[in-house]
């Protein structure tokens, strides 16, 4: 599925976002959901934009939050932004070990 164009909001180029998030161990579909999360979209809008069910989006974002070792969408968005801008190199805590085992 091709990447959807998203409005510019001061983020790095889409290819860079995709590359960096995939390097964490996320699957492409999880990366697409995470990209939409950066724009503050609700699960229903993400589902409509990506052609997925809201439940699938919820599952994708749960994987993202577990990998980043955060407990909510806001923390996930902030952590992703920090990763994209190079303010942190890896997610803190035990999620890092889980990320190494995540099958892509």
- Give the chain as a 3 state SS string: CCCCCCCCCCCCCHHHHHHHHHHCCCCHHHHHHHHHHHCCCCHHHHHHHHCCCHHHHHHHHHHHHHHHCCCCHHHHHHHHHHHHCCCCCCCCCCHHHHHHHCCC
Predicted model pTM: 0.70
Highest mean pLDDT (candidates 16-20, 28-32, 97-101): 28-32
Mean pLDDT of the region 46-71:
96
14-101 CATH, one of 1.10.3720.10, 1.10.10.10, 3.40.50.300, 3.40.640.10: 1.10.10.10
Answer yes or no: is pLDDT of 92 > 80.
no
Answer yes or no: is pLDDT of 10 > 70.
no
Q: Structural domain boundaries of the chain?
A: 14-101
């Amino acid at each position: 599925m091709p990447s959807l164009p998203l409005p510019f909001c001061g983020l790095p180029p889409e290819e860079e976002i995709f590359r960096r998030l995939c390097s964490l161990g996320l699957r492409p579909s999880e990366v697409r959901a995470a990209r939409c999360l950066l724009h503050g979209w609700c699960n229903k809008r993400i589902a409509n934009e990506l052609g997925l069910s809201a439940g699938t989006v919820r599952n994708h974002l749960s994987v993202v939050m577990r990998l980043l070792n955060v407990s909510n969408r806001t923390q996930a968005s902030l952590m992703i932004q920090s990763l994209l801008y190079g303010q942190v190199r890896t997610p803190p805590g035990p999620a890092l070990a889980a990320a190494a085992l995540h099958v892509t």
